[in-house]
Structure formats: C-alpha cells, structure tokens
Amino acid sequence: MFGVVLIAFVLTRVIPSDPAAQWVGQRATSEQIEAASIELGLDKPLYVQLGKYLADLFKGDLGRSLRSHQPVSAELKAYLPATVELVLVSTIVAIFLGIPLGVVSAKRKDQLVDHVSRFFSVGAVSLPTFWVGMFLQLIFYRWLELLPLGDQLSMGIKLTCEIPHITGFLIFDSLITGDLVVFKDALAHIILPGITVALYPIGLVARMTRSALLEILDEDYIRAARSYGLPERMVLWSYAIKNSLGPTATVVTLSIGYTLVNTFLVEAIFSWPGIGSYISSAVISLDYPAIMGVTIFSACAYVVLNLIADVIIALDPRVRV
Amino acid sequence: MSGYFEVKNLKVDFKTFEGQKNVLDIDSLALDKGETFGIVGESGAGKTVLALTILLLLSAPPAVIRSGSINLDGENLLQKTEKEMQKIRGRNISMIFQDPMSTLNPVFTVGEQIIRVFKNNKRITRKDAQKEALRMIETVKLPDAANIMAKYPHELSGGQRQRIVIAIALSCGSEFLIADEPTRNLDVTIQAGILKLVAELQKELGVTVLFIANNLGLVSAICSRVAILHEGRIVETGKVKEVLKDPRHPYTLTLLNAIPRDKGEKVNLDNIVFKDSENANEKGCRYYYRCPEKKDLCRDTEPVCRLIAGTHTVACHMAFKGGEAGGKQHTEG
C-alpha cells in the first residue's frame, strides 16, 4: 500500500507539468503562480512534499483538486456510487449468468450447449471492452433505437423529476422511494454499460465453474451421492456446486478488481458519471491530487477484494483451522 | 437358488484408443435373499466395475454394456431409464464404497449427509431425519453420535469415516447392499471391527450383501458363498467351505497360497505377477500365461464354468482331469 502511494506520488511529480499554473488558472500572472506554488508547497523538496502528503493521507485528506479546488475525497465520494453501482450490477449479472452457464456446460459436456457456452465464454473474455461497448451502442441505440446512448439518466428526466439520493445507487434509491419513472429510466441506462462490463466476468466465471465442476463430478463422493438415490438436481446444484464454489468465488472477487479498472474505460464510452470519467479528465489535465486519489482508491479496493477472496476460501471447512 | 438377484451373460467393455477391451464377462451370478456373497479378485479384476454396473453408475464413455441382464426381484435393471434407476438406487440397492476418504462430501457435515439421504429416501421431515441419523450413527457403533453429526469428514479418522459411509448406505433402507472393499485402506484391528459390524448388521437387518474384497480371508469370515473373479470372469464359485477346502482353479490356489499360515513359512508368490497386457490371452483361458498347469487346450478354448460337486463350479479345463484331491496335489502334467 505504501509502495503504491510512493510510486504514484513520485510518478505524478516527475511528469513535466506546472501544477501551480493549473491551480490559479490560465490567465495568471507569474507572481500569482509563484504564490500558488508556495501555497501548495511545491517550492519544497520532493521528500518534504511526500511527508506532508502522507501525513494528510492518514487524516483522510487526499488534497485538493487542481481544477475545481474541491477536496479530492469529496469529489471521489460524489463520483464513486455510480461506478460502484455499475460494478455491482455487472458482478451480480456475472454470478447469476456465469455460474449456471458453467454448470449446464459441465453437465452436458461436449454437447451442443457446452460448445455454444464455451464459444461464448472465450468470446466474452477476449473481446476488447471498448469494441463491445461501441458495438452495443451501434446496435441498440443506432439501429434498434431501444436503449439510450449513455449517461445515467435521460436529460428530460434529470430536469423534470426529483432525483432521489439516499445511498447514491440510482437504481436502488429510485426503487425504494417508489419512483418508478426514474427507476425505469435508470435501468434502461445501465443495461448497455452493465452488459459491457459484465461480459468479461461472465466468461471467466462460466469457464471457471465448468472446469471446477468437471473435476468434481468425477469424484467418488458424487458417484456415492448418486448411489444413495439422491436426485440429480441435488447432486449437481448442491453437492457438486458447493465444492466448486471456492475457486469460483475467488475468481469472482478478483475479477471485480479487473472490472473496476475496466469500468473506467466503459464509463468514458457511455459517458457514465463515475470515477472513470473523473480520472480520465483528471489525467488529461494532469490534476495530480485527483490521479493520486483514484490510484490509492483502486489499490485499496484490490487489497480489500483480495482479503474478501481469502475469507471466502476460508469458509471451506477443510481450510478452516 | 431362488434368484433374488441375478446377473446373466453380462458383458462390459471399455473403449480405449487401442479399441474396445472386454473388462467384465459374467455368465451367471445369483444371490439368495438374505445371504452374504463374497467376490474376490486381484486389483483390476473387475470387482468395482461389477458393483458400478449393477447401479448403472459407470461413466458412460469409456464403459459400454454390451449385453446381459441384471435382475433384482424380477426386474431387469439394465432396461431402466435413468429416472427409474434413480429411485432404485438407495431405495432398493445401496453401496458401501471402498474409499472412505473420498466417498464423503468434504463440504457438508456428516450429519447433514446422512439426514439428506434419510429425507430423500423415506420422505420424512428434517426433524425425524435428524433423529434417525442419530440412531443410525449409534447403530454403526460410533460413540458420541450428536458430536459426530456436526463434524466434517476431514475431522474424522479413517475408521470413523468408514462407519459413517456404512451408516449412509444403510440409511437408504435398501435390502440389497453392495460392499465394495469396505475394509480397504484400514488397518487390521479396524478392519476386524468393520467386518464384525457388517456381519452383525446383515443379521439384524436381514439385508442381502454382495461383499467385494481382494482377500479370501475376509470373505471366509463373513460370507456364505464366494466367487473368484479373474480378469472379469468368474473362475470358481461355490460355498466358502467348498472353495477354501478344495480349490480347483489354479488361480484360487495361488491366492490361497499367498496367505502365510505359519510363522516363517515361505510363501510362494511366483504366480502373483502383474497382468501383462502384451501377454493377454484373448482366445482361450485368461489365466493361460500365469498358469502353472497350462496346456495347448487352454490357449485356444476358453473354459466354461462346470459343476464339480454340490454348488462348487470351476472354469478350468484341468480341474476335471485327475483332480479329485484338489489343487494342492494337482501335479498331473
């Protein structure tokens, strides 16, 4: 974690740019820039700057954005829910589509269903996200005119309706407040980016479930369970699947990390107002406190997800001490 | 023989890259209700294949059931659909598997595994199933049943696990039990305990047991009749006493001679050699290359099971020529 902070910090500072000029704006005099650079502590040596940054970090202060002069942590908080919503939705979709796909595939190994599902999984994993995103836009927006192009809500809805704001997850908020108009609109908007993001984890989960199950279905205890006359339904969906859950859960949690980064790209394509949009504009304008903030957040997320993966593995009674 | 359970003319092949290989070819095998019938053979003789064929649980490729019938109470199992078979498994036939380490599902408590079997086969509530499961664990002589119920398989010892495996097989409540080397992988004292348990339960519950083993000693301890399986064929069968006292097939003899009886006795293991697929005799007697008594006749014609005395049958050309006194003195060249 400290390593991530250190590298990100040094890299953003080494990149030739003039943060002080950013801070005061385009039409600043050289005196103003000078004053700003003292205010931001840029005149001090790098290690002093780092020390101050770290000290602030411990207090939860990520510094202020060079463009908006707002605290980065506050901005992150504002952009985060949209991204998390997208990641959550696509992960849930991945679990509920990927696992059954893998199970069916393993059950009907080498039959048509299996071939189709494997073809789909390989495709889902290997197709580049930006291509899928734009392709979906082309089909569903341009040709079929079924779904909106991008953003989280239509302009009309944004202007006419009161947007509920409780957890920040739009779908969830509009549903619990019973605001069906907003809910429907939000749902329509999340479908395309959701599918785009979910595609990779679906393929991954399906393949993982399939290979884990194939191994397990050959085990003696599965044969034994059948010999006791237990229905095939129970053998497959309970006895076998519970054994395969370990590897699958690990893959799911780790793929959330990948999904998170993937989301940044997808958000840019669908102009989704999340962290991805935030970081891409931050990078373009070399807003280094913002870049640092997002980097630290992503690193944190990875660490937490790894921890969750370990916890899930530990749920297996064989691993438990 | 009333024919409660009958296997007739059963041929099972395995498909391999080199073509189909016959692994099981049983002309006839019949069990009476309530008896304990032993099947003995070396590793790879087809014992487990036989057990799994009866339950129709062989993995479909590579196994192919070429012909034959398996009758249980007058119904041919080989003609059942998978759905019907699912009902027969557990309810009519159940099986004790040979490896207690891998037969229990590692992510469920053993209690849960017994309860599920009870619930499924007897259609009772969870609470009743729980009580039954407790009783069943006591039946297989495991102390502290309530505690054991909550344990995962890896927390139990090999002997305990084997008892649980037996408990699950019995929980099905079926009258026909296949015990596939239930004492394999266990040390001798625990073996004895498990054997005693199987014998007692068999008497108590009146179930019919097909007891598979690779050790004639075990079989003689609890079975009334025995069949010797060699390369998928029954080479000798009869009452345990008949076969042990008067072994006619050279293979049976080899098996018996391989058991040391007295301290320091030299055991002849010459004929206990690994099967050599290069030397497999496809046309005649399968034992041809290992047999000390072989004749040209054995190479070309496969011997069929013939009655010797009482219920004792042997599939060996040489068993009838001058072999009154049995195999031990069977020296005629």
A89: amino acid identity, one letter:
V
* pLDDT tens readout for residues A33-61: 777 777 777 777 777 777 777 887 777 77
> Are the beta carbons of A114 and A105 closer than 8 angstroms?
yes
**Of A282-286, B164-168, B291-295, where does mean pLDDT reach its minimum?**
B291-295
* Residue B326 pLDDT level (bands cut at 50, 70, 90): very low
In a domain, B254, yes or no: yes
- Asked if the structure places residue B307 within a domain, the reply is yes
Inter-residue contact A219 to A244 (CB < 8 Å)? no
**Averaged pLDDT for residues B21-47:** 86
Angle ∠(B115,B119,B121) on CA atoms, nearest 5: 115
pLDDT tens column, B196-252: 888 888 888 888 999 998 888 888 888 889 999 888 888 888 888 888 888 888 888
B89 neighbourhood in chain A, CB within 8 Å: 226-229
A229·B121 Cβ contact <8 A: yes
Give the global pTM.
0.75
Which CATH fold would you assign to the domain A76-314? MetI-like fold (1.10.3720)
> How far is Cα B213 from Cα B107, in angstroms, rounded to an integer?
29
Q: Which domain range does residue B275 map to?
A: 250-329
Q: What average pLDDT score do residues A170-179 get?
A: 73
Say if B263 falls within a structural domain: yes
pLDDT(A307) > 80: yes
* Cis peptide upstream of residue B62 (ω within 30 degrees of 0): yes
- Per-residue pLDDT averaged across A155-179, rounded? 69
- Best of B48, B97, B105 to disrupt the A interface (most A CBs within 10 Å) is B105
- Cβ distance B97 to A223 less than 8 Å, yes or no, reads yes
Q: What is the mean pLDDT of residues B46-73?
A: 85
> What are the b/e assignments for A91-103, b being 16+ CB within 10 Å?
bebbbebbbbbbb
Report which of residues A26 and B62 the model is more confident about: B62
Chain position carrying tokens 């058991």: B259
Tokens of A20: 């002080």
Strand-pair partners of B93: B89, B176
Nearest to A84 by CA among A251, A235, A298: A298
> Number of residue pairs across A and B with CB atoms under 8 Å?
81
How many structural domains comprise chain B? 1
pLDDT score for B269: 65
Q: Look at residue B290 and tell me if it is in a domain.
A: yes
Average pLDDT, chain A: 80
Task: Identify all chain B residues contacting A316, using CB atoms and an 8 Å cutoff.
Answer: 107
Nearest Cα to Cα of residue A104 among A243, A214, A252: A214
B36 close to B201: Cβ distance less than 8 angstroms: no
Which sequence spans correspond to the domains of chain A? 2-57, 76-314
